């Protein structure tokens, strides 16, 4: 059975382990911080690989950023990665095959193969965290597009409230449905709002209300927080309606930090009452915190 | 070489011919009006098929409405088709194989195989007519979804102007980017608008301005018409940005009646300055008025 050294490269930490083609862990999961300098990062990659190379068939990376169509390079890096990350040729890091995949795509593949969407050949995994990521499985295959950059659902324009996204564009789905989106909805709603005047956060400057405040406020049944969270949910639902109508998927899997705060049944009912295709199931992710390395390992096994 | 009797079923007319697996016409293209009664329509289908059955390998239909995943039935019919159309089992109409496909999907396949998107394995055909239809080719395969209804891009919610669509839902792409959308944009814009007061249509009741008025007004450089057409284009561009970011396609092919009025280069530049994936080409459809029967015939040849 194939053995893959799988490495998840995030802006702050790096996670790795050896995984077999069934998605099972064959070694302890190791964590280390991500070097801020590209030379140190490349050296770290090489050290981890050479340490394990005799014991594996290939290496798989799950990484932030858009990956090229041959799965060898990160073409458009994210600001939290070191300068020069997008000139690194991953295929040169090892004598054995190296496969690189976007982390949202890898997570979607893990959900499809061993997680919440097993045998659902049309399934979408949406990651709701600081941002919004998406991985799309169409007829049993990962949607990558002409250049490998497909699936950028966070940049879908959904709304007319003219919110500016962190990418400086207007009305991105990510600007509304992410954790940062929830904070912005709170900041905007608080201005001249009746429920804010009696809210547990009424002493705060509207701009200082955080994502965590609203999550806490919802737990305490604070009316302002409930109102804000409801607007956030409606924005999320619009984005999910759009992708459901286009992809007609069996399921949408919600992963990421914001996922734990939503009622999947409520979201599912709201979507299914608005779509023109047949009903979709909304489920929480199952592949866990290591879906990135599992998905990358399984995709590498498909290719090599 | 395989020979297919291909029939395009529209609400008002029915078009058919015999087409080979290269998409070439082997017989005269015949047209007749679509019967308003399901029994008459079924009889007409049977008559056309039995007349040609000895001379063909299979029959292919391109039709309005959502087609099931086995390509044998129209599952959700459109209001302009006879009652009972969705209980018709197309596979029983002939002794030989019968294949049914949604007309927008068939048109996209025709563009991919013999039209404007040859060898572009990731391409989308958008039909801008009375409504907005879409056909999506992902990695060389037609996107159909779990139930065959995928590609309903007309139902994507794009805007916050709260326009009610003909489907009674709010903010559908179709409600803005269709021919009817252009009329609605004109009707809404005319109210209290300075350019309308000096427009060539100023004597008209705002609600009576038509799609054709605006098209004519644009030709005459009427400021009001130019303004309306520009709003329509911006709405169209938002929808095309969304699908470009998700699919990362090589091209988007514009077909349908409204297509002839747009400057593809202008639209392409506007999209490419906003997307996060690599640039897309915007092109007009080439497969012509008979893309529905050509695409259905070619898809049938892939299956049988």
Interface membership of A157 toward B (CB under 8 Å): yes
Residue B159: per-residue pLDDT = 85
- Interface probe for B, chosen from A242, A249, A250, A280 (most Cβ of B below 10 Å), is A242
Interface membership of A139 toward B (CB under 8 Å): yes
pLDDT in tens, B272-281: 999 999 999 9
| Token couple for A62 | 């799950």
- H/E stretch holding B108: helix B103-114
Residue A79: per-residue pLDDT = 76
- How far is it, in rounded angstroms, from Cα B191 to Cα B188? 6
Distances (CA, A) of B28 to B8, B23, B128, B288: 14, 14, 28, 16
> Contact B23/B114 with Cβ under 8 angstroms?
yes
| Residue A225 DSSP SS3 | helix
B278 to A149: CB separation less than 8 angstroms, yes or no: yes
Interface membership of B151 toward A (CB under 8 Å): yes
Residue A249: per-residue pLDDT = 98
Cβ count within 10 A of residue B75:
15
Q: Is residue A25's pLDDT more than 90?
A: yes
Residue B78: per-residue pLDDT = 75
pLDDT in tens, B75-93: 877 778 899 999 999 999 9
- Interface probe for B, chosen from A150, A244, A249 (most Cβ of B below 10 Å), is A150
Residue A75: per-residue pLDDT = 87
- H/E stretch holding A126: strand A123-128
Contact list in A for residue B153 (CB cut-off 8 A) is 245-246
| Residue B184 DSSP SS3 | helix
pLDDT band at A78 (very low <50, low <70, confident <90, very high): confident
**Average model confidence (pLDDT) for chain A?**
95
Interface membership of A188 toward B (CB under 8 Å): no
**Domains plus CATH for chain B?**
3-109+289-303 (3.30.420.40), 119-286 (3.30.420.40)
Residue B288: per-residue pLDDT = 84
Cβ burial B258-289 (10 Å sphere, 16+ → b, else e) = bbebbeeeebbebbbebbbbbebbbbebebee
Interface membership of A161 toward B (CB under 8 Å): yes
Closest Cα in chain A to B78: A276
| Token couple for B217 | 């007004």
Distances (CA, A) of A276 to A247, A250, A272, B130: 11, 14, 8, 18
Integer-rounded Cα radius of gyration of chain A: 20
Distances (CA, A) of A268 to A110, A197, B37: 22, 32, 38
Closest Cα in chain B to A273: B169
- How far is it, in rounded angstroms, from Cα A248 to Cα B105? 14
| Token couple for B232 | 């329509």
> What count of CB pairs under 8 Å joins A to B?
133
* DSSP-assigned beta bridge partners for residue B281: B251
Q: Which of A155, A159, A278 sits opposite B147 (nearest CB)?
A: A278
| Token couple for A70 | 């041959």
> Contact B280/B271 with Cβ under 8 angstroms?
yes
Residue B186: per-residue pLDDT = 98
The distance of A293 to chain B (nearest Cα, Å) reads 23
B157 to A241: CB separation less than 8 angstroms, yes or no: yes
> Chain A 230-289, CB below 8 Å of chain B: which residues?
238, 241-243, 245-250, 274-278
Per DSSP, helices labelled H in A65-210 are 103-114, 173-177, 179-190, 194-197
> Contact B120/A95 with Cβ under 8 angstroms?
no
pLDDT in tens, A93-131: 999 999 999 999 999 999 999 999 999 999 999 999 888
Q: Which of A66, A158, A161 sits opposite B157 (nearest CB)?
A: A158
Pick out chain B residues at pLDDT < 70.
none
Length of chain B, please?
A: 304
Quick one: DSSP state of residue B96?
S
The distance of A246 to chain B (nearest Cα, Å) reads 4
pLDDT band at A205 (very low <50, low <70, confident <90, very high): very high
Integer-rounded Cα radius of gyration of chain B: 20
Interface membership of B149 toward A (CB under 8 Å): yes
- How far is it, in rounded angstroms, from Cα A98 to Cα A67? 13
Cβ burial A40-68 (10 Å sphere, 16+ → b, else e) = ebbebbeebbeebeeebbbbbbbbbbbbb
pLDDT in tens, A246-285: 999 999 999 998 998 999 999 999 999 999 999 999 999 9
Contact list in B for residue A147 (CB cut-off 8 A) is 248, 277-278
Per DSSP, helices labelled H in A59-178 are 103-114, 173-177
């Amino acid at each position: 059975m194939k053995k893959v050294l799988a490495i998840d490269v995030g802006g702050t930490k790096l996670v790795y382990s050896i995984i077999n083609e069934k998605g099972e862990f064959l070694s302890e999961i190791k964590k280390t911080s991500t070097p801020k300098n590209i030379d140190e990062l490349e050296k770290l990659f090489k050290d981890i690989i050479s340490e394990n190379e005799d014991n594996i068939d290939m290496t798989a990376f799950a990484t932030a950023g858009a990956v090229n169509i041959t799965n060898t390079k990160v073409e458009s890096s994210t600001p939290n990665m070191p300068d020069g990350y997008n000139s690194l040729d991953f295929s040169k890091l090892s004598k054995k095959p190296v496969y690189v995949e976007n982390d949202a795509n890898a997570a979607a593949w893990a959900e499809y193969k061993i997680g919440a969407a097993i045998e659902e050949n049309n399934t979408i995994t949406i990651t709701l965290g600081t941002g919004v990521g998406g991985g799309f499985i169409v007829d049993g295959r990962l949607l990558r597009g002409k250049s490998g950059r497909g699936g950028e659902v966070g940049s879908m324009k959904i709304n007319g409230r003219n919110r500016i996204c962190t990418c400086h564009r207007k009305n991105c789905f990510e600007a509304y449905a992410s954790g940062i989106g929830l904070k912005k909805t709170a900041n905007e709603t608080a201005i001249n709002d009746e429920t804010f005047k009696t809210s547990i956060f009424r002493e705060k400057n509207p701009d200082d209300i955080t994502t965590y405040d609203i999550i806490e406020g919802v737990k305490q049944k604070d009316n302002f927080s409930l109102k804000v969270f409801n607007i956030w949910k409606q924005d999320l639902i619009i984005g999910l309606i759009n992708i459901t109508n286009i992809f007609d998927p069996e399921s949408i899997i919600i992963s990421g930090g914001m996922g734990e705060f939503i009622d999947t049944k409520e979201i599912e009912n709201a979507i299914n009452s608005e779509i023109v295709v047949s009903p979709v199931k909304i489920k929480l992710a199952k592949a866990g915190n290591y879906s990135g390395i599992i998905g990358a390992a399984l995709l590498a096994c498909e290719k090599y």
